[in-house]
A and B are shown apart, each in its own frame.
Chain A
Amino acid sequence: MNATTISSSDLSGLAADLLAARVRVAGPARASDGTVEYRHAGAPAELVLDSGVPRRSLKEFFLPPTEPLFAWRTGAGGRVELLEAPLPADPAVVIGARPCDAAGIEALDKVMGWDYRDEPWFARREATTIVSLACAGFDRSCMCTSVGLAPDTTKGSDLLLVPIGGGAFRAEVVTAKGARLVAAYPARFRPASGEAEAEAFRKAAREKVAASAPPAADPLRPWLDAHFDHPLWREASLRCHGCGACAAVCPTCHCFDIVDEPETVGTGVRRRNWDTCQTPRFTIHASGHNPKNDQPARIRQRVLHKIVIYPKKFGEMLCTGCGRCSRACPGGMDLPEVLARIAALAGGAQ
């Protein structure tokens, strides 16, 4: 793998160069209440790279909470004219993405390019370069090592920065897009150094996360397949409020609703909006029947979709172990705990 080195000040300088070249720069920055979220930065100083897990994931830069698909206009003779929303193609660079968030974006490429090619998604994907910052392991809700990833995973990143001390980063070039970024701003990068320091950082981070993460999720699949109606789901979902906070902060929850919203008489916009399988409305049929009529069924759906259904269909896990669902849950639900419980049950069943 190609590598290079960049200092903190050159990283800020790179952000400044990009902004000067009219490239959108995004990364962890503070919201009005001081909390860190991924935001578009107007100046390099707004980026705060070492400040924990941003409140919501990176997915909103590729699948916004709401987005127009097309507008309609009723013209002469009642003819309806459709006006397609322009494809988002503004070049953008994300600086300081967490590896678990970048991995989520790559996992979603599968479903977004499956039965049809989701044009807005891939337009943003192609226009965006993701520079991730290897994570030192954040807190006890982190579980990337349980889902086949690691705090230094390169999945989904174009460039991965690994701290090597002295405010510098070893920058590993992961994709051609990452190589193009390095090539476009040669003055900001130095010859590769700090290989041993980077390796030590990565090893320590993996060990830190693995120490508190639940057992690997992959081997739980046979048990989950065989225990669809296990009482576990009833017990685990008692405290669930059925809100969508977990899905809103999740890097891989991607379900959306499509709505037609009139703007004026004869005009309107079709939009797609984030949705969540945690509400009864998500599955209710026109007949009034609801196949997922209680919270245990909805929690089971969320867990199975992530670690059974998506992997079976697309060959990869739909959870990157970022831990946000556990941090955001107002009812104190905890995915690592649920997986540990399943692992204990599966171990006992063998």
Chain B
Amino acid sequence: MTELRELAKKLLAEGAAKVVIGWEEGPRGVRPAFATDAAAADRLVFDARCAHDLAPYLDRRRVHVAKLGRPAVVVKPCDARAVAGLIRETQVKREDVVLVGVRCGGVLADPEAGGTLSADTIADRCRTCDSRETALADHVVGTPVEPLAAPSRRDARVAELDAMTPAQRWAFWQGELARCTRCNACRQVCPLCYCDRCMADKTQPQWIESSPHGRGNLSWHLLRAIHLAGRCVDCGECERACPSGIPLGLITRKVASVVADRFGHKPGDDPAVPSPIGTWRSDDPQEFIL
């Protein structure tokens, strides 16, 4: 913690960054923080409660954040993959942001409840994450950590869904998606959902019905899954943000496994590695094209 705070103060004092975007204690556990001076830098924290992905704050549409000036962002390995995605897709220039990597052993499934990280309390997505620190960083802080061996309940659930008949799977997802009110929290917290004009907001023509009925919700979540295929960095923010508790991680996880199987691709923290959706290879699978 001292290392992170000292580095943040140094970056601010030397003018390398005008704001350090990290985490601080808030009224309900830790939350995103925007440190512009030494006092605020001294309030920065990093521990297993820091589940929030801070990469969305680099979105150019967040003009009030951009106005603070050149940012330094504290990134866990998954957050660094998100920043790599933004650089890869020309949304952020590498030289415009200072990246402070934190060594990460995973975050808590329930960050607000707090407690120590264990095989029982670790977030499901962290059970299958093999990255303890990122190479996409100007500075790396924290002590090296060992991965926790914990079986992925999410993968088990995906396998259960795969084993269902289409009718059972349909019933499952219709039940889950019936709770969606289309508040757009999943989209807004997603670091890779940065489109100026989301297809779901278009009205002429209206590709995606905005009504939160079965048809509209299915259209929206299918669209989101496809648009994030091979781009989703598994930061878990969509599922964490959903006020209706829809298990969106099951969708992103399934799509990621399809992309891995079919295109041999897993989004990493090297912006130079192209993603399947942004590149073409003569040996890409194409037998599904009619």
| Residues of chain A whose beta carbon lies under 8 Å from any beta carbon of chain B | 31-33, 35, 37, 55-56, 60, 65-66, 140-141, 234, 237-239, 241-245, 247-249, 257, 259, 261, 271, 273-274, 276, 279, 281, 294-296, 326-328, 330-332, 334, 336-337
Instruction: Flag if B247 contacts A244 (CB, 8 Å).
Output: no
Give the chain A neighbours of B52 by CB distance below 8 A: 330-332
Instruction: Flag if A330 contacts B237 (CB, 8 Å).
Output: yes
A-B pairs with beta carbons under 8 Å apart, 29 shown: A31-B179, A33-B245, A37-B244, A60-B181, A65-B212, A66-B212, A66-B216, A140-B28, A238-B64, A241-B185, A243-B184, A243-B189, A244-B183, A245-B243, A247-B183, A259-B211, A271-B211, A273-B182, A273-B211, A294-B64, A296-B64, A326-B27, A326-B28, A328-B243, A330-B52, A330-B237, A330-B240, A331-B52, A336-B27
- Name the residue in B27, B33, B209, B243 with the highest tally of chain A Cβ atoms < 10 Å from its Cβ: B243
Question: Known: A32-B175, A56-B244, A238-B65. Contact between A261 and B189, CB under 8 A?
Answer: no
Cβ < 8 Å to A, chain B residues 171-224: 175-176, 179, 181-185, 187-189, 201, 206, 209-213, 216
Instruction: Flag if A249 contacts B243 (CB, 8 Å).
Output: yes
- Of A31, A239, A242, which contacts B31 at CB under 8 A? A239
Kindly state the interface size class of chain B when it binds its partner: 35 or more
A31 vs B176: C-alpha distance in the bound complex, in angstroms? 9
Closest to B19 in A: A238
Instruction: Flag if A31 contacts B245 (CB, 8 Å).
Output: yes
Instruction: Flag if A66 contacts B213 (CB, 8 Å).
Output: yes
Give the chain A neighbours of B242 by CB distance below 8 A: 245
Instruction: Flag if B211 contacts A241 (CB, 8 Å).
Output: no
- Of B31, B184, B216, which contacts A279 at CB under 8 A? B184
Instruction: Flag if A259 contacts B237 (CB, 8 Å).
Output: no
Instruction: Flag if B185 contacts A245 (CB, 8 Å).
Output: yes
Give the chain B neighbours of A249 by CB distance below 8 A: 243
Instruction: Flag if A330 contacts B26 (CB, 8 Å).
Output: no
Closest to B51 in A: A330
6 nearest interchain CB pairs?
A332-B31, A243-B188, A330-B241, A243-B185, A248-B183, A244-B183
A66 vs B210: C-alpha distance in the bound complex, in angstroms? 9
